[in-house]
Structure 1
């Protein structure tokens, strides 16, 4: 997983509340292999004329600024894959679906929760200056908008550590490789009948 430390990137405003995981990635695309690149299917059924992600002014945006209850609905990790494969590193909203936020952190996607008024003001700035950048400093826990105002955000310390160090569940487990190997050796000696081929 790519570490997330600081990011300065274009941000796209999405003035829609209650975006669910089926809107992010329609269920029919879940049968496709991840290697196909889920970014091709991000917001597939929402892309009507005027949809912000199709506006050339926001091309290459890595931050999505949306409305409340982002990522609600089913526990679909593919929704996070679609955002990550679509080039997004961070989503800012007043609130998130709990399972979505947990899946996001495990896949290197930072979710930032800010007060509704602050997020609405940030969306307005981005609508008034399409293509404007924001800066996210995860160690400092700040997001600086196009107006230069730095907003502080809270994050679970463990989630922050994993994102900054680029640790997914496998990498976290491998931190304990020596202890795992020692257990395997001791267990094989104590219970040789459970070891295949022993």
Structure 2
């Protein structure tokens, strides 16, 4: 009589890792890296500290996974904006995306990438550096897109792609800080629209 093959012995994870990561993202987004305690994270995720370490690593590794999720989810407006046919369209889509993402009623206000490590102590230096790189990467992608706009004649030849990219990035981060302070979406959108009225056109 043939013996039945047994599957691998092991305890099932017992929780939805994707859902747990989503909940961790909301905690970090609302409280920042340092403000999010292990207790608040595991409580929101519905798992033990042991399970968190086993599935996601330590707090910094969990934050790195959360930032990836944020980039591909709430912050995906940047990738979509880069596909706009004009530089002005790109800038408009970025700022509109920031306003929408940072003021959504069902989500924390502000931007995870801006507020995540504003007050981290020395042990959080890795996260501070990670977020600085994250913000700089977005600015670099904008600069490359605006350089293409200059090359294609969509922006005037004297336009400075680096300066425009930094301008849009600074506006976006400023909007996020204002949103976290309670400024409403209508007022922020008006500010964004006003900021782009002097956009250079070819």
Asked which structure has the greater CA Rg, the reply is 2
TM-score (structure 2 length as normaliser): 0.27
TM-score (structure 1 length as normaliser): 0.27
Greater RCO between the two (CA within 8 Å, min separation 6)? 1
The structure with more helix, counted as a fraction of residues: 2
The structure with more strand, counted as a fraction of residues: 1
